[in-house]
Amino acid sequence: MKDIFNYTYEFLMFLSRLTGFTYKEVNIIIWFILIPLSWMFLIDKIRGKHFFKIGFLIIVLLIVVMIRDFSRFSNQLFDHSANFLRGFDAIGSNYTASSVIICLMVPLIIYLMLIEKAYFRNRKSST
């Protein structure tokens, strides 16, 4: 778990240097905007509509417009997220393991389920 966490951290730091955003800003952009947005695209692919991605984009744009200081907002949201992950210490996990499970494994499982439904479900039922 620690190696996966460290590779992810290093990748996010690379993106931070590449984009000029802070580590926490990159983290928020990826886990709170880009990943959910990609899920909305997949859900719309499954449903054959454009409702979810358009709705999500409108919500994100409204929130971004209302945020006066994105860096401060990102720091606060990141800190709340980190505290949430530290909450799993009570059941014997730790921040590193909880981060890998909740922030990497759970989204990966969701991606696999959505991609299967979006691109492979129709093929299975037609054979």
pLDDT of residue 126: 53
Q: How far is CA 20 from CA 16, 26, 52, 102, in A?
A: 6, 9, 30, 26
Going residue by residue through the chain (127 aa), what tens digit of pLDDT does each one get? Answer: 899 999 999 999 999 999 999 999 999 999 999 999 999 999 999 999 999 999 999 999 999 999 999 999 999 999 999 999 999 999 999 999 999 999 999 999 999 999 999 999 766 555 5
pLDDT of residue 24: 97
Q: Please tell me the distance from the alpha carbon of residue 2 to that of residue 35, in angstroms, as a whole number.
A: 22
Q: What is the pTM of this model?
A: 0.89
